[in-house]
Amino acid sequence: MGMSCNQCQESVHGTGCTVRGVCGKDEPTAQLQDVLVYAAEGLALAAEKLAGSVSVNVGQLISESLFVTVTNTNFDEDSIVAQIRKTLAVRDELNASLDHCSDHDAAHWNGSSKEDFLAKAATVSINSLSENEDLRSLKSLVLYGLKGLAAYTDHAAVLGYHDEDIYAFYVKALAALTKELPADELTGLVLETGGVAVKAMALLDKANTTTYGHPEITTVSTGVGKNPGILISGHDLRDLEELLRQTEGTGVDVYTHCEMLPAHYYPAFKKYSHFVGNYGGAWWSQDKEFDTFNGPILMTTNCIVPVREAYRNRMFTTGMAGYPGLKHIAARAEGKEKDFSLLVEMAKTCKPPKELENGKIVGGFAHNQVLALADKVVAAVKSGAIKRFVVMAGCDGRHASRQYYTDVAAALPEGTIILTAGCAKYRYNKLELGDIGGIPRVLDAGQCNDSYSLAVIALKLKEVFQLDDINDLPISFDIAWYEQKAVTVLLALLFLGVKGIRLGPTLPEFLTPNVAAVLVEKFGIKPVGTVTADIEAMMAGA
Ligand code: SF4
Ligand code: SF3
């Protein structure tokens, strides 16, 4: 039967991953993820037939199910099977309330065994979206955009924030993926996904900043203390909040890893003296760093890489994350916190982390903080001290070709400011790039989930400089992508009218030449080139 996955930047070029994912995802896991997407489509078709709004329960369930299939989030067959069953059960409830079956094929295959689901997988892979490769490419763009969106709305939902319009869009778009639609309708759906992405990022921004305050300029240590520690990775701030509360006064320190680094920027977490620093770099080097951390590690979301024996018994998952053989910390019971006592007790028996480095990272430049510096920034632009902003947000990844981003950051002229968000920053956030009149040359807005801040900052600059078009700003976009949240951010930028984005280290494999040509023609998207040529072009405004 084989697997067929091409959703991330590390997809095997030319064929997608067909035997085993570069990410480590094996064939049954990939197939069960396809079936889970298919079950979510069945749920959407049932919800589409109901008059009125899409319920929060259905919207949240779709968010969770799609999030499970985001690259490097969940490798655990049993938990994916459980999520398929949950999704089908709600689909069946909706169909029962309508008193008819969905015409989606899913209505006839809700067998309960994993084998049943695997047998179904052959007919529901990404290839089944359409026989026409261009239509399949457009549908893939929508589906991957939805997966990234799902991560945003799941994080917002965890904090109690929902938007029924976004949930209604899930239903509309997932249902559309099951239908034969012409290219122009699918192109419209791609752009609409970008518009909904802006809404979802704004919702998550509101959820995070209302709950934890607005990020502030913060210096984070990359060294280690003398106490044992727990390392928390992924993107879920509520998990961190509860872990910090449950470790307070226990003699166990808490460290962030990868995309949890920006948690240090939030006022709500600054009061914890045992929240000591950040350990290691971007997600892909975890198989070296987790060994030397010595204590328990909690993965709240992506990115998990194949787990090594050296730390397997110290690693835990929670939320939508999963990995076979790792202990999973259960969801919150109504009105209760998650129970992290297993990690706390284990940490007390562990050695302190081994020092990897002993420096600092400065961040916290989300929209509120940057707008507080607006006068200074505007004056620096007017005086010519700041010549250009370069947005280098997105994801990091394993490939050596991503050295491009380090080299661009190092070689950009001194009058440039790098605006970043996401784990792409690890390619240059430990370089000494200095400042411009006190404004650091790398302004880190936060996680990939905080890319919204970069759009707000750009729109504010447009307003301050009284420009009609965002593309008239002295700003260039040199974006790095890896997983599907970056696809969502890209669609959001296109929706906001940003033109001429450089995308790398390679263009998505799921774009056919015809679909890529449309993006080039309409939006001027281009692949990254050489460091020298790209810097020269960006400084010239291209
Ligand atoms: Fe391959 Fe990426 Fe899919 Fe993993 S997520 S199987 S690396 S395309
Ligand atoms: Fe990174 Fe996985 Fe995308 Fe959140 S942690 S940006 S890749």
* Ligand 1, atom nearest to 17 Cα: 1
pTM score: 0.97
pLDDT digits (tens, 9 = 90+) for 302-346: 999 999 999 999 999 999 999 999 999 999 999 999 999 999 999
Cα of 437 to ligand 2 centre, how many Å? Answer: 31
Q: Report d(CA 429, CA 415) in Å as an integer.
A: 17
Whether the CB of 262 sits within 6 Å of ligand 2: no
Neighbours of 210 (CB within 10 A): 12
**Residues with a CB atom less than 6 Å from ligand 1:** 5-8, 10-11, 16-17, 21-23, 25, 30, 71
Residue 67 contacts residue 298 (beta carbons within 8 Å): no
Q: In Å, what is the CA distance from 295 to each residue of 170, 229, 231?
A: 39, 6, 7
Give 104's pLDDT tier (boundaries 50, 70, 90): low
Residue 106: is its pLDDT beyond 60? no
Give 57's pLDDT tier (boundaries 50, 70, 90): very high
Across the range 257-265, mean pLDDT stands at 98
Cα of 258 to ligand 2 centre, how many Å? Answer: 8
Give 301's pLDDT tier (boundaries 50, 70, 90): very high
To test the ligand 2 pocket, which listed residue (278, 483, 490) has its Cβ within 8 A of the most ligand atoms? 483
Give 108's pLDDT tier (boundaries 50, 70, 90): low
How much is the mean pLDDT over the chain? 95
Exposure pattern of 348-383 as b/e (b: 16+ CB <10 Å)? eebebbeebeeeebbbbbbbbbbbeeeeebeebbee
Residue 499 contacts residue 472 (beta carbons within 8 Å): no
Residue 287 contacts residue 308 (beta carbons within 8 Å): yes
CATH number, domain 12-211, options 1.10.10.10, 3.30.70.3000, 1.20.1270.20, 3.30.56.10? 1.20.1270.20
Exposure pattern of 251-260 as b/e (b: 16+ CB <10 Å)? ebbbbbbbbb
Classify the C-alpha dihedral 364-158-314-288 as positive or negative: negative
Residue 20 contacts residue 28 (beta carbons within 8 Å): no
What pLDDT score does 52 carry?
Answer: 74
Give 362's pLDDT tier (boundaries 50, 70, 90): very high
Residue 535: is its pLDDT beyond 60? yes
The residue contributing the CA closest to ligand 2 atom 5 is: 303
Whether the CB of 8 sits within 6 Å of ligand 2: no
Residue 441: is its pLDDT beyond 60? yes
Tokens coding 164: 């029924």
Q: Report d(CA 354, CA 421) in Å as an integer.
A: 27
Across the range 2-6, mean pLDDT stands at 93
pLDDT digits (tens, 9 = 90+) for 500-517: 999 999 999 999 999 999
Residue 452: is its pLDDT beyond 80? yes
Residue 194 contacts residue 487 (beta carbons within 8 Å): no
The residue contributing the CA closest to ligand 1 atom 3 is: 5
What pLDDT score does 122 carry?
Answer: 87
Domain locations along the chain? 12-211, 218-347, 364-539
Give 155's pLDDT tier (boundaries 50, 70, 90): very high
Cα of 396 to ligand 1 centre, how many Å? Answer: 15
Query: CA nearest 408: which of 432, 427, 394, 422?
Result: 427
- H or E element, residue 159: none
In whole angstroms, what separates CA 62 from the centre of its chain? 16
Across the range 28-34, mean pLDDT stands at 97
Residue 470: is its pLDDT beyond 60? yes
**Would you say how long the chain is, in residues?**
542
Residue 416: is its pLDDT beyond 60? yes
pLDDT digits (tens, 9 = 90+) for 387-408: 999 999 999 999 999 999 999 9
Cα of 143 to ligand 1 centre, how many Å? Answer: 15
Cα of 532 to ligand 1 centre, how many Å? Answer: 31
Whether the CB of 258 sits within 6 Å of ligand 2: yes
Burial class (CB in 10 A: 0-12, 13-18, 19+), 98: middle
pLDDT digits (tens, 9 = 90+) for 43-53: 999 999 987 78
What pLDDT score does 312 carry?
Answer: 98
DSSP 240-301: HHHHHHHHTTTT-EEEE-GGGGGGGGSHHHHT-TTEEEE-SSSGGGHHHHHHHH-S-EEE-S
Cα of 236 to ligand 1 centre, how many Å? Answer: 23
What pLDDT score does 101 carry?
Answer: 56
Cα of 235 to ligand 2 centre, how many Å? Answer: 9
Report the topology of domain 364-539. Answer: Rossmann fold (3.40.50)
Across the range 256-277, mean pLDDT stands at 98
Across the range 99-110, mean pLDDT stands at 56
Q: Which CATH class is domain 218-347?
A: alpha beta
Query: CA nearest 243: which of 337, 158, 347?
Result: 337
Across the range 17-36, mean pLDDT stands at 97
What pLDDT score does 37 carry?
Answer: 98
The answer to whether 12-211 and 364-539 have equal CATH topology is no
For residue 323, give every residue at least 6 positions away whose Cβ sits within 8 Å of its Cβ, in sequence order, or none.
Answer: 74, 75, 76, 299, 304, 307, 315, 317
Q: Report d(CA 317, CA 323) in Å as an integer.
A: 7
Residue 486 contacts residue 399 (beta carbons within 8 Å): no
